[in-house]
Structure 1
Amino acid sequence: MAQPDIAELMEDLELVRNAVVGAGIIATGFFRQDVKTWTKDNATPVTEADFAVDTFLKNMLTAARPDYGWLSEETADDPIRMEKKRVFVVDPIDGTRGFIRGEDSWTICIAVVENGVPVVCVIYAPIRDELYEAVVGQGAFLNKERLERRHRLGAGPIIPAPGAVHRELEERGIDYVRGPALPSLAYRLVQVATGVLDIAVARRGAQDWDIAAPALILSECDHFLEDVCFGVPRFNKQEIRHGALAAMSDLTLKDDVHDVLRKVYGCPAA
């Protein structure tokens, strides 16, 4: 595969960064207000803020890059995206439940995926004033400061996880600290890159828009995000759902964590 044009990708990063900041202003206008909510067919909530942000981002990004595909949690899927060299993969508000509860760690996530691989991304947590960004091969940054691979010193590894995963890990006698519950999966995953967490996991069923952006942040920090059933995720395929996932800065617990996730959640058909 030909190497991506870095100059083009840097232009995409500038576009996506501007878009996500504008989207953050829109979303913040709804935050901690009496926002309208609905329940989707998969029993997850969606709000008028999700739709407003999605509309803003789609209009801005597709007008600037009409030859790119579009894949978003809040837009009906158009299979033509799979014919495109590049596609925007968007989660207008990741962590909607936390947004509704008034928690501050929700994010807006945008990735540019090229030939199944994320090559540009921005993850923005407006209330925490944290903007994560990356271009493939150019490193990852938090508020313009380079994120360097680092290992947290102190007690056992910090691992947030659902209760069933905690029970299995504890039954194996693994010495670790239960991490904080963060409703935004993208935010949770990138905390492995910052060193706040040592391992972050996700139950089976995460979709492209949940993980494409944090996957690039992690890889640019020399960390690992893997589907425990199928390996390194690929994006913009017909099937956009993934098996259980694990991101880790230290591979010493990889076998145990992957085994536990497969035991708890199983694996979908290939």
Structure 2
Amino acid sequence: MNAVRPSPEQWSSDLELITMAAKAAGEKALSYFRKDPDVQWKNGGRSPVSEADYAANDILKEKLLAARPNYGWLSEETDDDEARLGCDTVFVVDPIDGTRAFIAGKDVWCVSVAVVHLGRPVAGVLFAPALGELFHATENGDARKNGEAITVKPIGAEILRIALAEETVGLLELGYRASVSRIPHVPSLAYRIAMIADGRIDGTVVKKNSHDWDLAAADLILERAGGALFSLDGQPLSYNRPNVRHTVLCAAAKPALPALIAASQGLEGH
């Protein structure tokens, strides 16, 4: 692979492109919202996909690859093509992150689009059209929500507001549990991570088997807001690998992350 890194201006140009495409895809998805879209089941009946997911995916693929035909493509709603592994730069896309919420008429869902270069996101957008919210970042710029810079919440002595499944609480280290207030389920994983970036919550634990497309854009937005998304070995994620699934992950403001990772070691294997 070519190790020469493009300029920051390239990622700014890519951010403009993916923002335009995400808005178009989000508006298309919104036209199906709360209108009983056709739903199918994939992955052995475990994962729903609606006609809105496919329509949004078509818009993203058409607009993005027309503008950057040399970039690879990885989307939840497109059959994987191993040609992406030979590309330095890849679009990583989830047309609707939070499909179950979308189908149920709940407004916490978003279009997630990232540009990944040599394994790490360099531009990312989350567009939540039902909420009127747009998050974005590049690797050299601020994280922003609706144009305003955002940062993670400073960590003090107060109880930490952590989003995690109810059954996961009992797997946290006992002493840590006393410092945590559990936030109820947030249907979109990408949006949940964005909630850390804008300071509404302090952290989250992500169960194993999340995918690149759930994470890449939100990962960058959180990083540029002063947080991080790490695996339990304390390392950042690498994207566009042959296996796009991930193990248990923790996300939080950087000062709070080591304690959350240490407390979450019991989740390994669950």
> What TM-score range do you get, normalising by the shorter chain?
over 0.9
- Matching of residue 169 in structure 1 with residue 172 in structure 2: yes
- SS of structure 1 residue aligned to 2:244: coil
**Map of 2:29 onto structure 1:** 27
8 A contact 2:153–2:202 mirrored in 1? no
Q: Cα offset for 1:253?
A: 6.2
8 A contact 1:164–1:264 mirrored in 2? no
Q: Cα offset for 1:200?
A: 1.1
Q: Which moved more, 1:176-185 or 1:21-30?
A: 176-185
**Map of 2:195 onto structure 1:** 191
**What does 1:32-111 align with in structure 2 at a 5 Å threshold?**
32-42=34-44, 43-111=46-114
Q: Deviations over 1:176-230 (max 9, x none)?
A: 2111321100000111111101011210001100100011011111211101147
8 A contact 2:248–2:267 mirrored in 1? no
Q: Deviations over 1:123-177 (max 9, x none)?
A: 0110111100011111111111111343277841101111221123384342221
Residue 141 of structure 1 aligns with an amino acid whose one-letter code is: R
- SS of structure 2 residue aligned to 1:71: strand
**Map of 1:227 onto structure 2:** 231
Q: Deviations over 1:74-119 (max 9, x none)?
A: 0000000011111000000000111111111101000000000100
Structure 2 CA distance for aligned equivalents of residues 258 and 149 of structure 1 = 17
Count how many residue pairs are aligned between Structure 1 and Structure 2.
266
8 A contact 1:165–1:261 mirrored in 2? no
> Which aligned runs of 4 or more in structure 1 are off by greater than 6 angstroms?
none
Q: Which moved more, 1:167-176 or 1:73-82?
A: 167-176
In structure 2, do the counterparts of structure 1 residues 169 and 262 end up closer, same or farther at CA, with 3 Å as the change threshold?
closer
Structure 2 CA distance for aligned equivalents of residues 200 and 122 of structure 1 = 20
**Map of 1:125 onto structure 2:** 128
Structure 2 CA distance for aligned equivalents of residues 86 and 132 of structure 1 = 21
Q: Cα RMSD over matched residues?
A: 1.9
- SS of structure 1 residue aligned to 2:58: helix
- SS of structure 2 residue aligned to 1:225: strand
In structure 2, do the counterparts of structure 1 residues 45 and 265 end up closer, same or farther at CA, with 3 Å as the change threshold?
farther
**Map of 1:7 onto structure 2:** 9
Structure 1 CA distance for aligned equivalents of residues 209 and 76 of structure 2 = 13
Structure 2 CA distance for aligned equivalents of residues 249 and 177 of structure 1 = 16
8 A contact 2:108–2:131 mirrored in 1? yes
Q: Deviations over 1:8-51 (max 9, x none)?
A: 11111111111011111100011001111111115111111111
8 A contact 2:162–2:201 mirrored in 1? yes
In structure 2, do the counterparts of structure 1 residues 174 and 3 end up closer, same or farther at CA, with 3 Å as the change threshold?
farther
8 A contact 2:94–2:111 mirrored in 1? yes
- SS of structure 2 residue aligned to 1:30: coil
8 A contact 2:155–2:256 mirrored in 1? no
Q: Cα offset for 1:69?
A: 0.4
The sequence identity of aligned pairs, in percent, is 37
8 A contact 1:20–1:124 mirrored in 2? yes
- Matching of residue 151 in structure 1 with residue 151 in structure 2: no
Q: Deviations over 1:55-79 (max 9, x none)?
A: 1110111111110000000000000
Structure 2 CA distance for aligned equivalents of residues 149 and 174 of structure 1 = 22
- SS of structure 1 residue aligned to 2:16: helix
Q: Which runs of 5+ in 2 are unaligned?
A: none
8 A contact 2:173–2:266 mirrored in 1? no
- Matching of residue 241 in structure 1 with residue 234 in structure 2: no
